[in-house]
Structure 1
Amino acid sequence: MTPTTPIKLVVTDVDGTFVTRDKRITPRALAAIAALRQQGVHFTIMSARPPHGVRALIEALDLPGPVGAVNGGALIRGDLSVLETLYLPEAASRDSVAVLRQHGVDAWLFTETQWFLRDPEGAHVDHEAKTLGMPFEVVAEFDAGHYAHALKIVGASHDHALLERLEGELQARLGAAASATRSQSYYLDVTNAAAFKGNGLLGIARLLDVPIEAVLAIGDGVNDISMLRQAGFSVAMGNALDVVKGHATVVTDDNEHEGFAVAMERYVLQNGPEGEQTR
């Protein structure tokens, strides 16, 4: 199966999709992006990372923007200036932090430019600092100023089953006030209710004046489902959960075996082999 409408915009998730497990961008992926640009196809990323957490990728890929951060809660230019921002309601932020802490999960708070936390030795802090390439600031407690500019609250834990359970419980508590979704098995993200990747994809397509039927989205996580459903053509990674694959038009190889590049070659550049899996 190939797109019925020529693709004019590719929007890709980052972790688990565009980069390998050790956060590398392969030469084949870079070559595919160069080929997209030569054919006049827009390319950008949509990540759960905060704006400053995608700086290194923007620089490495020379992305002019718009780029999606915070699951679409912030659309930014290549210079990190903000085009559109959706803050978390303060009450939802405070409730989320309280619920996470009640279950022994430390909470992080991200604004447009900063990352605040209480325990620098907490679960996955070192890993995330390396991934984002941005420093964190240790605070005794989040204050009104932090909450007023919160784009995302993150619960990080080694107990993946706990986060899976809290995802449902926290979403039920927050209702329409905010969205609680796992971006990884070990991260539970709380964002503005309108800050989901499907909405961010629509915003990027609007800003670039590309019809939605000419957009290809590719991802691997549960938080990618909304953009897979919105795009005219969607690709799930081979390493994605079955529930994610079920919302994609086709399935490519995993992120350790050039799944992103294979998808670009096959469905946009149309110079790759056939034989894809379809939903």
Structure 2
Amino acid sequence: MDGTLLSHHSQSVPESTKLALKILKEKGIYTFIATGRHISEIKDLPLENLEFEGYITLNGQYCYNRDGVIYALPIHQQDIQQVLNLIEEKPFPCIFVEDEKMYINYHNQAVEKVQNAISTPLPDLGDLKRGLTHPIYQVIPYDVTVAQEKAILKQMPHCQHTRWHDLAIDIIPREGGKQNGILEILKQYHIKIEETMAFGDGHNDIDMLECVHIGIAMGNANDEVKSHSDDVTDDIDHDGIYNALKKYQII
């Protein structure tokens, strides 16, 4: 979504992308959002009332459509307990993400900087111990050093992580990822992998780009992401999605 569908320079979805999505819908081609974001964040973004068949959220851990939940994969409870122990010993800002809500233990300048970068308000404050009694699908530590990052991951052996900002990482179940959510969606809709295309620009898009039949990196993606794609299109502010769909004669 960020840097692919939504431009943080213009704070909007490019007009060419809106047109491309309109044409895809008219042709009966299903479109899905695959994002690290939570449903509450998606609702607050300026998506111009765009409609999608379904949503692969929290980096693949929570997938749903208008009829309900298709797939959900929470973090192991042992890992939740152990990250809570770390936060109690040496506090750092951390978001816990449930199915319908997300909350953080406290705000600081790092949290403010990251949230501004993704055009999103500060998360609500909440008691992280709630995670001991409610399924947590994603944990987002902020403002942690490299040493702290390693310590966190050591205490969460059932998990993997992705750094999506200099000051923030996403932690999800080890067997999770966008590719896992995509495969569940394809199963639900009886779609073959040969019929898929995906666009991405971030490190958390790599497994998705490798999973689908045609993985397209945005021009604004970094070199690592581009190296894992089948093709590279223009950046988001220069009609990247529209141009790629035209190139492959899909629209």
TM above 0.5: yes
The one-character-per-residue Cα deviations of 1:222-257 (angstroms, maximum 9, x if unpaired) are 111111111011101111121111110001111222
TM-score, normalised to structure 1, is: 0.77
CA contact (8 A) 2:30 2:52 kept: no
Q: Distance in 1 between matches of 2:151 and 2:248?
A: 39
May I ask how many residue pairs the two structures share in their alignment? Answer: 249
The percent of aligned pairs where both chains have the same amino acid is 22
Residues 1:20 and 2:7 are matched in the alignment: yes
Counterpart code for 1:68:
I
Q: Pick the aligned partner of 1:106 from 89, 93, 96.
A: 93
SS at the partner of 1:37? helix
Q: Distance in 1 between matches of 2:91 and 2:53?
A: 40
Equivalent residues in 2 for 1:20-169 (5 A)? 20-22=7-9, 23-56=11-44, 60-65=49-54, 67-78=55-66, 81-99=68-86, 105-125=92-112, 128=115, 136-139=123-126, 141-145=127-131, 148-157=134-143, 162=145
Counterpart code for 1:95:
Q
Could you list the runs of 5+ residues in structure 2 that have no partner in the other structure? none
Q: Distance in 2 between matches of 1:36 and 1:234?
A: 17
Cα distance 1:186–1:130, how it changes in 2: closer, same or farther (>3 A)? closer
Cα distance 1:107–1:135, how it changes in 2: closer, same or farther (>3 A)? closer
Cα distance 1:82–1:131, how it changes in 2: closer, same or farther (>3 A)? farther
What displacement does 1:121 show?
4.1
Counterpart code for 2:142:
A
CA contact (8 A) 2:139 2:170 kept: yes
Residues 1:174 and 2:156 are matched in the alignment: yes
Q: Distance in 2 between matches of 1:169 and 1:245?
A: 30
CA contact (8 A) 1:51 1:113 kept: yes
With 205-214 and 118-127 compared, the bigger mean Cα shift is at: 118-127
Residues 1:231 and 2:212 are matched in the alignment: yes
CA contact (8 A) 2:96 2:138 kept: yes
Q: Distance in 2 between matches of 1:74 and 1:144?
A: 19
The one-character-per-residue Cα deviations of 1:59-80 (angstroms, maximum 9, x if unpaired) are 7112232x1000010001137x
Q: Distance in 1 between matches of 2:208 and 2:4?
A: 14
What displacement does 1:266 show?
1.8
The one-character-per-residue Cα deviations of 1:191-228 (angstroms, maximum 9, x if unpaired) are 12232011111111111111001100110111111111
SS at the partner of 1:87? coil
Q: Pick the aligned partner of 1:184 from 165, 171, 178.
A: 165
Q: Distance in 2 between matches of 1:223 and 1:191?
A: 11
What displacement does 1:47 show?
0.6
TM-score, normalised to structure 2, is: 0.85
Q: Distance in 2 between matches of 1:167 and 1:254?
A: 31
